[in-house]
Amino acid sequence: MIKPHGANELTSLYIASDSERAKAIEAADALPSLLISSGAAGNAVMMGAGYFTPLTGYMNKADALSVADSMQTTAGLFWPTPVLNLVNDAGDITVGSTIALRDPNVDGQPVLATMAVEAIEQFTKEELAHIADKVYRTTDPEHPGVAAFLAEGTVSVSGPIQVLNFSYFETDFPDTFRTADAIRADIEKRGWNKVIAFQTRNPMHRAHEELCHMAMDQLDADGVVVHMLLGKLKPGDIPADVRDAAIRKMADVYFPPNTVSVTGYGFDMLYAGPREAVLHALFRQNMGATHLIVGRDHAGVGDYYGAFDAQTIFHDDVPEGALEIEIFEADHTAYSKKLDRVVMMRDVPDHTKEDFVLLSGTAVREMLGKGIAPPPEFSRPEVAQILMDYYQSL
């Protein structure tokens, strides 16, 4: 099986032993505590679940700035996005202390992790804007990722952590949330060797489904792991539970047995386009995938990124050998009326726009809200029904 990033084994920071975890939870209640941001909580979950191997905790200021500038820590570890714990005020917390990190996304703000504090450092607004410009390629406050990042705070509290739970992801999505360790175990159990990861923050329409089939056929892969984001999105995006139901229905009906696994991970969407695509590749390698599908405007939002910037970054900016996972570069996919099947647009240069079934997201949402199913060339009827039920309930 493919090796984890920068290590021979996964670095999973979750305390797996029930008895040790119970002791750690009891002890954590007596520690000084810090309420962290949703973004920092997602970072803790990803480190706990092994996806962020080989990190052992939050980055300090020097590493965060180095990663923003060069996609490398000061020690030379390849990493595409800073993994920070930013707050507005560290209060009475001191370097050398052990503290409890409290979860902002769960009622009662329980302890999510404990941290051995190694550094408390102040970022200037200019430094944070520099990071945003490097990672998001913009400092526009209208960009949802930039807005979330710049709202987290200016004080970095860093150090190694131990994770005590997986926030709301494990309880709200018990059939879907999986750690990197669990996905690796499932891949091994299924007997898969060549494994494709498909990233999604949306329901999968027919073009997405067929793209997975195309990648499997062209790569002669054993299976595809549909790996959906379960964390926070921008306003207007479809909630995770609805996406989960729609994707599971698609997988159950339209994939042969033992060719697809539907799973999810606990993280907030960054909308960082190219940099986030590289992060997606890195933690898919950690979960055991050998290939990641990177399509048009992968992890993008609005018009902030070029259509294929998330593909070219792997050629232009990722050093050779930095990652072992390979990228399957996909074009925009749509149903061809001429050929009566879904195709990648680059593969049919003789087609015009009128030869495809193309619907805007706005048009699809309006149809679903009125109880009108999109055409079967665009969305499978079983999937459309789940989405119609959701939109009509709003």
Catalytic residues: 201-202
CB atoms within 10 A of CB 340: 8
Contacts of 11 (CB under 8 A, 6+ apart): 4, 47, 50, 52, 53, 54, 55, 56
Strand positions, DSSP E, 239-379: 260-265, 291-294, 326-329, 333-336, 341-344, 356-357
∠ Cα 140 143 146 (to 5°): 80
Contacts of 283 (CB under 8 A, 6+ apart): 5, 46, 51, 52, 180, 265
Contact status, residue 258 vs residue 190, Cβ threshold 8 Å: yes
Alpha-carbon distance of 139 to 148, in angstroms, equals: 11
Alpha-carbon distance of 185 to 188, in angstroms, equals: 5
Nearest CA to 182 out of 198, 203, 166 is that of: 166
| Residue 116 token pair | 């051995």
